Structure 1
């Protein structure tokens, strides 16, 4: 029974596909919206900044980011979520403020030192190899670039202290962690982290 439940959750939320994946996308659009917008507000990208959004799902965070920055890139492994993001963000794509590409946190497909801000909301727990993903994000960030990670507190298996240590080991500096509670009473608390790529590396 547990394996069946796990498969259903993966189909809905892990790497969404099919009708269940679309249902999961609609649920994520509602449940993650406040945290997505909060993360973008914290990152506060400028109009000229290049912003990389990892695992944007149905695209709520992409919309928030592309309202601030004219250079937003969404990297998403799920075809279903890419399609939902394209529909939600169609006007921003047409205006050239946003582009979407298949990929993962460990394989973004972006050039070295080409990104000013990386944002990830509620997909860190799905990264198969966290050190490899952090190394990739360090590679694509420009010196002084900002990393912002947010995950449901109960879904962060290692805890914030271990995550902070891994981020620091990947070459980031100014690592800060905290817990944020969304305004909706039913929404789970979020474990959040910001860090900066060390400018001189």
Structure 2
């Protein structure tokens, strides 16, 4: 395994153990098998760029696991979405470090144009992907709808995770999210 791969693995480990805000370049280098600190800038440009890339990989891995779990035994779109929201609204304790690191990265984005740009680009890429994965919507056919649907899912994911991090016992369940979305949809249809 080369320096680049070891640095990525070390950054992921640091995110899980120390979080985004408390991880230093030296921490990453140590977690990467005592890699020279300068290799972080050489391979990634900055510590923040490496942490963001590592965080995006962790989030992608979590998303893949979550989607896979939601698709198991689901026969309808509604059933799949309710299972998905249950996975998101009730994450495992093993997901807590990644969720905390995500919140910390978002807080850094307000002060760092580099961090903000990386996260914003990841969101923009993810919106049509979510619409395609969850609803079969192709952005090539209807970019506006795909972006809107993906944006709603991202907003729900972020909001559910924040509620779970703050108050896991009273955060909404997947069933409550589905019930709320159905009621909102009925209201929108009645007004439309």
TM-score (norm 1): 0.31
The structure with more helix, counted as a fraction of residues: 2
Higher radius of gyration, 1 or 2 = 2
The structure with more strand, counted as a fraction of residues: 1
Q: Larger relative contact order (C-alpha < 8 A, sep ≥ 6)? A: 2
TM-score (norm 2): 0.32
